[in-house]
Amino acid sequence: MAERTNPFTFLQQVRAEVSKVVWPTRRETVISTIMVFVFATIAAIFFLIVDGILGAGSRCLLTGDGAQCPFGMSPWLLVGVVAGLAALGYIAWSMSQARKNQ
């Protein structure tokens, strides 16, 4: 079982450990904050675009109306395009795994 430490000794140890911490400068903090805002904005724009594409695709498939589909294509053509892209992604992934295992 661990040895009990009185509160005064504990606070001295905490103060000693905190003094070892290297705190970031104001400039490092500002740059890090700006980078977080930039990348959060990029991620938000990316997900806005992906959401729009997926929304248009699902609207096309659920209504079955070519007028709702992107570029006026038929819903079944959209299904074929999505399936083809998924197959290409799987092939690329499996090829990368095969190279990794060589």
Could you write out the DSSP letters of every residue in 20-63? T--PPPHHHHHHHHHHHHHHHHHHHHHHHHHHHHHHHHHHHHHH
For residue 51, give both structure tokens: 């959401």
Across the chain, mean pLDDT equals: 86
Instruction: Convert the pLDDT of each residue in 4-33 to its tens digit.
Output: 888 899 999 999 999 899 989 999 999 999
Instruction: Report the percent of the chain where pLDDT is more than 70.
Output: 89
The H-or-E segment that residue 69 falls in is none
What is the rounded CA–CA span in Å between residue 78 and residue 59?
11
- Domain definitions of the chain by residue range: 29-100
Q: Count of residues for the chain?
A: 102
Q: Please give the chain's pLDDT, 102 residues, in tens.
A: 567 888 899 999 999 999 899 989 999 999 999 999 999 999 999 999 888 888 887 887 788 766 667 667 777 777 788 889 899 999 999 999 888 887
